[in-house]
Amino acid sequence: MKRTAGKLADGREIIYYDDSPDAPPRQAVDTRDLPRTQPLSEVRRDPLTAEWVGIAAHRQTRTYKPPADLCPLCPSTPGKPTEIPESGYDVVVFENRFPSFAPTVPDLPPTVDGMPMVARAPGLGRCEVVCFTSDHNSSFGELSAGRVRTVVDVWAERTAALAEVPGVEQVFPFENRGEEIGVTLHHPHGQIYGYPFVTPKTERMLSVAGKYLEEHGRPLLGDILAAERAAEVRVVAESGHWTAFVPAAARWPVEVHVVPHRQVPDLPALTDAERDDFARLYLEVLHRLDGLYQRPLPYIAAWHQAPVRTGRDLAWLHLEVFSVLRTADKLKYLAGSESGMGVWVNDVTPEQIAERLRASAR
């Protein structure tokens, strides 16, 4: 993989990752007249739950569903400069122009005015966009195994890089696909968030994992993985280093966890063999997901990694892929129980979905 770093017109960093070391030099200049932005990101802690909430009012003006010929993630063409100055690329990472968290944000008072119980802090961090291919009409599932391996290497490198950004406590690579999920740019891409705190879900998972380890002397996800592989009924696909299964208590109508057989805290800790093996298995999983309803499945793919400084001995890296589509033309809405109380009600059993995914093909 060849890496070339540069700057966009407003000073944001852009990095090209080419599959081959023989790729052409990446020297194109961003010709746009872009003003330097000043993100106003902050975080406030909900006094009722002790959870941090990000507030980024400057994101209201971000790009929203542009026509394909004005896509900001496609390569630049004469007269149509985009976020990517080159006329072609393999994989590209650049700083988000409308970040939820940023390395430089204004200082703030420690509490909200008139609310001493509501802690407040600058939204320090970093948000990056990852473009998987220059082909606007493609998708992650249509990438070659070699390109997926490049993306895995990029995720790992950026995880390590963002972990060094002052204020970042957790790094979260993810992909949103499909309008039903809320995607506003259809070009195949994902994002990476460097949070200034450990996320509530990760905190909860680490707490549960710690208690299980104390009681049983073994890692929780390791025991779950062993039990799922032995039961087989919810396993969708497996390989030498990874297993993909529908969790026994799945919340979403379609939900698959892709778990490495070895406990590692994060993507940088994966070996070359594990990265190669993931590329092949994940493509199989995505093909099965698209075959479920014989249409491109809207989904969120979320990497669960260890925080930068805490819980690294408890965490077990894994990918969670889920969809809001409960039938070919019906969505799972988060209604009163899910949204109001956080109590999920699934309309299908995990065993049924796993069986259908094993039988699906596209």
Beta-sheet strand order (sheet of 189-195) = 2-7, 13-18, 91-95, 126-131, 189-195, 170-177, 299-304, 318-323, 254-260, 242-245, 235-238
- Check residue 182 and give its pLDDT: 85
What percentage of the chain's residues is helix, strand, coil (to nearest 5)?
A: 30, 25, 45
State the catalytic residues. Answer: 189
Domains and CATH numbers, the chain: 2-197 (3.30.428.10), 201-359 (3.30.428.10)
- Check residue 69 and give its pLDDT: 78
Judge whether 74 is annotated as a binding position: yes
Write the CA distances from 271 to 161, 263, 265, 331, integer angstroms: 18, 12, 12, 38
- Check residue 58 and give its pLDDT: 65
Judge whether 136 is annotated as a binding position: yes
- Check residue 57 and give its pLDDT: 76
- Check residue 93 and give its pLDDT: 98
* 172 vs 159: CA distance, rounded Å: 8
The series of mean pLDDT values per 10 residues for the chain, 362 residues long, is: 96 96 94 89 96 82 65 96 97 96 93 97 96 97 98 98 97 95 91 98 98 98 98 98 98 97 98 98 98 96 98 98 93 91 94 96 64
